[in-house]
Amino acid sequence: MIGRYFINLAKKDMEQHIAQLPARDLAYFTEGAKHFDDYVEAVHWAQEYALFNRREMMRLIMEALRKPLPPFDITKEAINCHHNYVAIEEHFGEQVFLTRKGAISAYDGELGIIPGSMGAKSYIVRGMGNPESFCSCSHGAGRRMSRTAARRRFSKNDLEIQTQGVECRKDKDVIDEIPGAYKSIDEVMENQNDLVEVVHTLKQVVCVKG
């Protein structure tokens, strides 16, 4: 809702600067524009809202785990790792609005999570603070094909085979998330070994979708 609201305002704002945009979806606010500060404030409000949601989900998960498991204490820090967001940071001597699309923050010593797919490994990583990547790394394996292409190519039986040993949904509505629709997480990790170091390798046991 926030996005649609400000996109419409941006389209009206751009009409004052460019008579006809090549595509109306290219509308944007220049810094200093009438609604620019309101937009930035709304974006950060939404991201903080998402943070509170993640904290609440973690609280509920820990509460659920305490019931069947022997008593345990939480002794390690929680890893707050999100992607597809904008942050105000300093890079190459300048303050910039940095959008990490399909990427996560990987400052030196910062812990992150890089998931594979419903049937592949995932990784807990520690950032190396590589300035060439704006102190970032990939969010995950990344798609090999679109969701539509995955639904055309794979069947429910393919999904069951590729997620064998993982407790997860195996119905037709999640075929677009099938492991075969994603790149090799091992190859992705090898390609970014100058951005992060692996701390832990995780094997999926349970995968919750939706």
Does 117 count as an annotated binding residue?
yes
Does 106 count as an annotated binding residue?
no
Q: Which of 76, 94, 109 is the last residue of a domain?
A: 76
Whether 139 is catalytic: yes
Q: What is the pLDDT of residue 16?
A: 81
Q: Say how far apart CA 180 and CA 207 lie, in whole Å.
A: 16
Q: What is the extent of the structural domain holding 159?
A: 79-210
| Whether pLDDT at 126 is above 90 | yes
Same domain, 58 and 84: no
Q: Which of 44, 76, 108 is the last residue of a domain?
A: 76
Let me know: does 195 contact 137? Beta carbons within 8 Å.
Answer: yes
Same domain, 69 and 114: no
Does 138 count as an annotated binding residue?
no
| Whether pLDDT at 33 is above 90 | no
Same domain, 67 and 90: no
Of 164, 179, 181, residue with least CA distance to 122: 179
Q: What's the one-letter identity of residue 153?
A: R
Q: What is the pLDDT of residue 210?
A: 63
Same domain, 85 and 15: no
Same domain, 139 and 86: yes
The number of domains in the chain is 2
For the stretch 53-100, pLDDT in tens is: 999 999 998 999 998 999 988 877 789 899 999 999 999 999 999 999
Task: Choose the catalytic residue: 17, 44, 82, 139.
Answer: 139
Same domain, 101 and 50: no
Same domain, 124 and 177: yes
Q: What is the pLDDT of residue 95?
A: 96
Same domain, 203 and 120: yes
User: What is the DSSP secondary-structure string of the chain?
Assistant: -HHHHHHHHHHHHHTTT-SS-SSGGG--PPTTSTTHHHHHHHHHHHHHHHHHHHHHHHHHHHHHHHTTSPP----S-------SEEEEEEETTEEEEEEESSEEE--TT-EEEE---TTSEEEEEEE---GGGTSEEESSS-BSS-HHHHHHH--HHHHHHHTTT-BS--SGGGGGG-GGGB--HHHHHHHTTTTEEEEEEEE-SB----
Same domain, 58 and 87: no
Q: Which of 14, 44, 76 is the last residue of a domain?
A: 76
pTM as predicted: 0.85
Same domain, 72 and 85: no
Q: What is the pLDDT of residue 75?
A: 76
- Which pLDDT band holds residue 113 (cuts at 50, 70, 90)? very high
